Amino acid sequence: MDDDGAAGAEAAAQYFLQLRPYIMQTNDTAEWEAMSHQACAPCAQGLEQASRIAQRDDTWEGGATQTRLLHAYEQDSATGLWPMDIEVNEAAATVTDSAGNTVYEQDPRVSTARVEVGRRDGRWVVVNVAQPPEQ
Amino acid sequence: MNALAIASTLILGVALAPPETDYSGWADNYTKEVFAGATGKASSDEASGGGQSSAASKDKYFRADAKTCAIGDLDMLVDIVTQAGTCAEGYAETVVPAPCEDGTYQLDALWVQRVQDDGSYAPAEQVSEDQCVTPGDIRAEAERAFRSMRVSAPPVTLQGGEPLLVNVRYPAYTTAAAQEQDVTLLGVPVTIRAEPVEFAWDFDDPHSPGGGTLVTSDPGRPWRDGDPTPDESWVGHTYTRLGEPGSDAGSAVDDAGNTYRSGVTVSLATTWEGSFRIAGSTDWTPIAGTITTTSAGEPATVTEARTQLVCDDLAGSATC
């Protein structure tokens, strides 16, 4: 992620995608927040959910996320954003409450995300995690 | 539980452990819109040399719309957005009431910071005001987009089991589905639409009187069980002559003495007309000019029916 070009953008995007289950498990969100642009709605959702889990004293398990770069596009000259399509492989996840009841279950699934990464103050920020637009 | 205990439970609002369905994973949260257009492949090594990104030496353009303002603090945009002063404090996305009429598209003011000879950027200057773009404004660009549109040639079907026979009216048909393409013209999202309006058939039949061509606006239809036998009004063709074996190329005689032609290929030239629609509008504006596509069917053999009993209907089912 030290690289400030395409390679760094791709590394930042994959790192951020893989970070999600960690913040759900620990509510340790410092890195997540540092890499989230305020315009990124899925980033805000992740932060809010990690906080909600902690507030309710629930426990998140699983959801390990593997990623694979499918296609890296040219940097957008107007905004400086690096768009890329990434395959997101989420393992099964469960949430249990403090009494040990399972309150949420998530099946494993594979999806494709269009991730848009930008530079702000010389650091990588994730601006968007979207459905890939139809061609 | 007695009534008092039940009442206490309800007053305290203690839930009887309903499942919490408001948790989710990545795939449940993807947004529906992107911020940037995405083209081509990344240039792998250019960007990492010397710490300069490949886009750093170009003029910086900025349109004062909500989407761009929302990311106006990115390194690429922050100087120009600040100087232009057209985004709200904190780059929050604001909902601006649209001053444009229905059917027109609001294009926000365009600003540019030009890169100077020494590599630094000049102060932001405004290139254009807010505009309400009408179809007339982009008609020429829409025509150009239509002319270069990649339209898929529709399929060609001559309906009949092989080998085809002389003196039988075979239906010919294709599909008449319109095709659309989304493009951006001068910053405006537009849909270009191509509709087939004329079908020119060539049945590869130089020998039958009347010629082997047919021009129609009707895409034709397949014959189905229960339909009447196709007549001259049904889009299709009747092969009546197969040429002279020995003097006409492609004409031959089989062991039973029947003349036949093989490799007979039906082709279709389709003429398409265009129209376009600006994003958010319901009206289609016609585009001048047409496009033509060419498609062909599979080669077939046509033969005389002198000694062969015709036992199959047009759908290929045996009727004997």
pLDDT digits (tens, 9 = 90+) for A52-79: 999 999 999 999 999 999 999 999 888 8
Say if B45 falls within a structural domain: no
B67 pLDDT exceeds 90? no
* Eight-class DSSP state of B318: B
Tell me what the mean pLDDT of segment B269-285 comes to. 91
Task: Provide the token pair at A94.
Answer: 């469960």
pLDDT band at B281 (very low <50, low <70, confident <90, very high): confident
What does A52-106 look like in DSSP terms, one character per residue? HHHHHT-EEEE--EEEEEEEEPPPPTTT--EEEEEEEEEPPEEEE-TTS-EEEEE
Same domain, B125 and B179: no
Tell me what the mean pLDDT of segment B247-260 comes to. 87
CATH label, A6-130, candidates 3.90.1150.10, 3.30.70.870, 3.30.413.10, 3.10.450.240: 3.10.450.240
Does residue B114 sit at the A interface (CB-CB below 8 Å)?
A: no
Same domain, B164 and B76: no
- Taking contacts as CB-CB distances below 8 angstroms, the residues of chain B near A71 are 41
∠ CA(B284), CA(B285), CA(B287), 5° rounding? 125
Same domain, B170 and B247: yes
Say if B246 falls within a structural domain: yes
Which pLDDT score is estimated for B13? 47
Say if B293 falls within a structural domain: yes
| CA quadruple B76, B82, B87, B91: dihedral, nearest 10 | 60
Say if B11 falls within a structural domain: no
- Taking contacts as CB-CB distances below 8 angstroms, the residues of chain A near B42 are 6, 10, 72-75, 82, 84
Does residue B89 sit at the A interface (CB-CB below 8 Å)?
A: no
SS3 B143: helix
Alpha-carbon gap: B159 to the closest alpha carbon of chain A (Å): 34
Its ipTM equals 0.96
Same domain, B175 and B113: no
B50 pLDDT exceeds 70? no
Same domain, B259 and B111: no
Say if B103 falls within a structural domain: yes
- Give me chain A's average pLDDT, please: 95
Same domain, B259 and B148: yes
Q: Are B159 and B170 in contact (CB under 8 A)?
A: yes
Same domain, B89 and B174: no
For the whole model, what pTM was predicted? 0.63
B106 vs B34, more confident: B34
pLDDT digit string, tens, across residues A71-108: 999 998 888 999 999 999 999 999 999 999 999 999 99
Q: What is the CA radius of gyration of chain A?
A: 16
**Which helix (H) or strand (E) covers residue B275, if one does?**
strand B267-278
Within 34-93 of A, beta carbons closer than 8 Å to B belong to 37-39, 41-42, 45-46, 49, 52-53, 56, 58, 60, 63, 65, 71-84, 88, 90, 93
Same domain, B65 and B154: no
- Give me chain B's average pLDDT, please: 83
Same domain, B265 and B288: yes
Range of the structural domain that residue B116 is part of: 55-133
